[in-house]
Amino acid sequence: MAIKIDTVYQTVQALANKEQRGYITPQEFNLFANQAQDDIFDQYLYDLEAFRAQRPEKNELGDSVTQIMKKLSTWYSIADVTNGVTLPLGNVGKIFLGQGAVRRTLKEVDPDIVSDFYASKWHKQGFTDAVFFRDGDKQIQVWDKNGQITTTGPVTCEQINTRPPLVYWGYMIVNEKPLYNSTNSVNFTLDRSEQADIIVKILKLAGISIEDQQLFAAAQGEDSLNTQQENK
């Protein structure tokens, strides 16, 4: 569910007014709103790479990657891993083996684990599923019980190759005041859970620092107003 640009705008204006910091113009708001969105999206990408660098074999790290990829799901597609080795450009999420309904997520392991499997016939007998490890910045190696997979097609990945569109609080001037115009407005496409963070970031960019309780109260008021308007 998208975050409504007008909900964020009205909350920001209410808090700015409460702090007696004056009025944030629509031009300023749109500039700050896009900066806030970019900051949050870039943090997704940074966190994704940071967690992957830790080799997320433990459940808590794997869960963190899953949560980030869930938030990024709007902007990724499935891409081939060339020769089962070379990752595509851009940020990469999960690695898969197989196509369509039989596609399954591969577990990332340490290279030594694969070496151990192939050094012992007993380990090899226990090699029941394919795994992968990283072999450089944009290189991986995928192995199953028969050896390394080096063909294009079986191995694919999540590729994040787009960014959120620019948001815009559209308006028209009525009696010398800007009035919201939904026709040419563009809502946020970030995860709904980011609404409070967006508001805080916009206010900070406008030079306003607020307490969490103030934000909660203002957000509750705007949500109630929006619900009433939607039910009319």
Cα 120 from Cα 128, distance rounded (Å): 14
| pLDDT of 123 higher than 70 | no
pLDDT, tens digit, for every residue of 84-102?
A: 999 998 888 889 998 877 8
pLDDT range class, residue 189, cuts 50, 70, 90: very high
The percentage of residues in the chain with a pLDDT greater than 90, rounded to a whole number, is 43
pLDDT, tens digit, for every residue of 156-165?
A: 998 888 899 9
H helices, E strands: number in the chain = 7, 10
pTM of structure: 0.74
Contact 183, 10 (CB under 8 A): no
User: Which CA distances in Å does 134 have to 73, 109, 138, 142, 169?
Assistant: 23, 9, 8, 9, 43
